[in-house]
Structure formats: C-alpha cells, structure tokens
Structure 1
Amino acid sequence: MRLEYFQLVDRIETMDAAAGTIVCRATVPTESTVFEGHFPGHPLMPGVLLLECMAQTGGHLILARNDYEKMAFLAQADRAKFRSFIVPGDSLDVHSRLTHEGSGYAVCEARILKAGKAVAEAEIRYRVVPFPSPELRDKMLEFVRSVGHTGIA
C-alpha cells in the first residue's frame, strides 16, 4: 500500500474476470503520515481507506472485464461494516465479487480478511465510463500491470 498516493492494492492474487471474482493482497505500511493523526500512540488504518481498498479491488475486476477501455469510479457504498482494528503491518486479503453490471454501472460485494477472518465488508457501486483522458489511461495501465494484470493490449 502507498497510502499517500491512494494505491491500496499491492498485487492481484487471483482473478477470474469472466466469473466476476478477484482476490487482491494489501499490506498496511508500518509507517505513514496517516497514522500520525489516526491515532497518536494507537495507529489504526482508517475505515474510509479500508472502504477505498475494497473499491479499488472491484475496480481492478471491472477494468479487466471491460478490456481495459473503461474504468470504474466509486459511486456509492452500502452496508459497510468494520469488524476489527487493522494496524500497521497487517496483511489483508481483499475479495470482490461482481453482482450486477449494465447501463454504465456495476455493483460488487467486497470483504477484507485478516488471517482468514472477516474484518470489513461492503457493497460497492461504480459508474463505469471510458477513460476521461489518454494520460489517465496510460498511468492506470502502468499501475495495473505492476500489481499483476495480464493480457493488457
């Protein structure tokens, strides 16, 4: 994870774009300016960043399902639950499963596991649109290759 750059997925462990499933790995950094304020003497990964991590995981899946021509923008999060504290150094498995796709939108059910136990979950809705600029597409493709996307033209 690179919290300051909002790059919250370290690598793709498994992805079956046709089946609409993905598992990503994310390791919370041991040090980050985020932890200076959240919370001094008791650093915790902010829930909003856990939600973003789940959203990015589903976004990787949606990107692959759209042949890397469209990207997913977070539109809504429902039923978010945070069940346990996440601390610096924790390794997380982030699962996402596509439940709906069409009319420029997609919905995924996502959850985060730590040591095999569920620590967070949410339903994430996305707006799926063509890349708004060639520069964004180039940067996005460079990043997704680095985390394990394959088959990119």
Structure 2
Amino acid sequence: MRFLLVDRILELEPGHMAVAEKSLPATEELFLDHFPGFPVVPGVLLIEMMGQTAAKALNAQRLSRGQAMLGEVRSARFRHWVKPDEVIRLSATIERNQDDFAIAKCQAEVAGRKVGSAELLFVFMPPEQLAPEYRDAVLEDYLLQQGGHHES
C-alpha cells in the first residue's frame, strides 16, 4: 500500500480549507488482516487521510516555511466503521496558521454521515530537507486545473 491517501481534491482555499476524497478498494492487502471477515479502514489511516487533506490546504500557500508535516494528533474520534470501496469525503479547516505551526480541525464522512474527526497540529519541514524529486501530484494537478501556478 502506498501512503497517498487523497485521491482527489474537490475544493481548496490555500491556507484556510480543503475538501477531498479517498476510497480504498477491497483488494487492498490491509483488509486481509483488518479484520478477517469484517474488513474496515483502520482509524490511523482515517487520521492520515484527514492530515493529508489539511496539509494540502497549507502547502497550497507556497510559503517558504516548507512542507506541512503532522506533528501531533490532539484529538481523534471514530463514530462508524468505514468499509472497503466506500468513498470517504475529507474536510479540513485551518484554525491557526502561524510561521512555525498550524492547527486543523478535520472531518471524515461517508454518504453524508460523519465517521471520524480530528484536531491536528502541523509543523513545517524546510524545503531543502525534502527529496529534490518530491512532488505532490494530487495538489499540483488540482492547482493546474484551477489555473494556479505549477512549481516543479
């Protein structure tokens, strides 16, 4: 499994909010063990999906502070099981956005029903510490479709 846990961005306001979608196919190997006979998306992956959604809102600002990285899960709640092949709608609202950290309130829904939520704290990795070939294809593609600029 790759840890690219946002399939597409639906809405984005740089530095303020993002809405995205993700679906994990039933063929993902993780469902063999989580759980046999009752496959569900692990809660930790729901947190990561919400975190990646929030990071896209932060990274879309293109600030010199660098790449948003999850620094702390302040709270997380899971309300309902998420089954394979279900489309998960992820939303993130940036509550605080400072030079050295940011805080996001996030939510995951399936078919209009809240399945999870989290408050996440982000720190920033300076650009020179990223691999030179690093590229967030989902964010870049969305920005290009919206007429935004593209940085390689």
Q: Same fold (TM over 0.5)?
A: yes
Aligned pairs for 1:41-80 within 5 A:
41-67=37-63, 70-80=66-76
Note the 1:8-87 alignment, pairs <5 A: 8-17=5-14, 20-67=16-63, 70-87=66-83
- The residue that corresponds to 2:4 in the other structure is 7
**Among 91, 97, 105, the residue aligned to 1:95:** 91
Segment drifting more, 43-52 vs 69-78: 69-78
Matched-pair contact (CA < 8 Å) for 1:72–1:126: yes
Distance 1:143 1:115, change over 3 A: closer
CA distance in 2, matches of 1:60, 1:30: 26
1:30 partner letter: A
Consecutive unaligned residues in structure 2, runs of 5 or more: none
Once residues 130 and 94 of structure 2 are traced to their aligned partners in structure 1, the CA distance between those partners, rounded to angstroms, is: 26
State whether structure 2 residue 131 is matched by structure 1 residue 145.
no
Query: What is the CA-CA distance between 1:143 and the residue it aligns to?
Result: 4.8
Counterparts of 1:52 and 1:122 in 2: how far apart (Å)? 10
- Computed over aligned residues only, the root mean square deviation of the Cα atoms, in angstroms, reads 1.7
Q: Specify the code of the residue in structure 2 equivalent to 1:38.
A: H
Number of residue pairs aligned between Structure 1 and Structure 2? 146
Partner AA of 2:73 in structure 1: A
- Matched residues in 1 for 2:14 and 2:138: separation? 18
Q: Deviations over 1:92-127 (max 9, x none)?
A: 110000001114111100001111111100001011
Q: Is residue 104–residue 129 contact of structure 1 (8 Å, CA) maintained in 2?
A: no
Work out the percentage of aligned pairs sharing the same amino acid: 26
Cα deviation, 1:6-48, whole Å, max 9, x if unaligned, reads 1110000011115x01100111212111111101111110000
* Alpha-carbon separation, structure 2, partners of 1:63 and 1:16: 11
Structure 1 counterpart SS, 2:60: helix
